């Protein structure tokens, strides 16, 4: 069935663990400082 009224556009792959996860988490922290109040930003190593 091809949806036309309610269409998922971006379905994330959250559950897939990355081998570089530790590096990824490390990078998040610098991103945190960039925004200060908003820390939950994508890690470039995962993109």
Partner 1 sequence: MGVNPRETVHVFRRGGRILAYDGASGTLHILDEVGEAVLRWFMDSCLAGVTCPGAVSKAVDCGVGPEQTEMALDETLPEGLASALGGRFSDAELAQAWKELKAALGKTLFAPDDILDQEGDEKEFTSALEAGLKSMCLDIAHDCNLACDYCFASQGSFGGKPSLMDEEMGKAAIDYLLEASKDRKYLDVDFFGGEPLLCFDTVKSVLLYALREGARRGKEFRFTLTTNCVLLDDDKISFLVDHGVSLILSLDGRQEVHDRMRRTRGGLPSHSVAVEGAKKAVAAKGGKGYFIRGTYTKHNLDFDEDVKYLYSQGFRYISLEPAVGEGTWGLTEKDFRAVDEAYGRLTEFWLDCRRRGDPFEFYHFNLGLHHGLCKERRMTGCGAGYEYVAVTPEGQIFPCHQLVGRDEFLLGDIWNGIKRQDLMKRFCLSRVPMKAGCASCWARYLCGGGCHARAVYSTGDLLKPDVISCQLMKMRLEHALYAQYCLFTRLIP
Contacts with partner 1 by CB under 8 A lie at 1, 3-16, 18, 21-30, 32-43, 46-47
**Distance of alpha carbon 40 from alpha carbon 32, whole angstroms:** 7
Residue 16 Cβ vs partner 1, minimum distance, rounded to whole Å: 8
d(CA 16, CA 13): 6
Give the nearest distance from C-beta 29 to partner 1 in angstroms: 3
Minimum gap (Å) between residue 2 Cβ and partner 1: 9
**CA neighbor of 45 nearest in space, from 15, 26, 10, 13:** 26
């Amino acid at each position: 069935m091809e949806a036309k009224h309610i269409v998922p556009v971006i379905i994330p792959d959250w559950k897939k663990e990355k081998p570089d996860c530790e590096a990824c988490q490390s990078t998040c922290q610098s991103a945190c400082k960039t925004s200060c109040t908003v820390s939950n930003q994508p890690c470039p190593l995962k993109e």
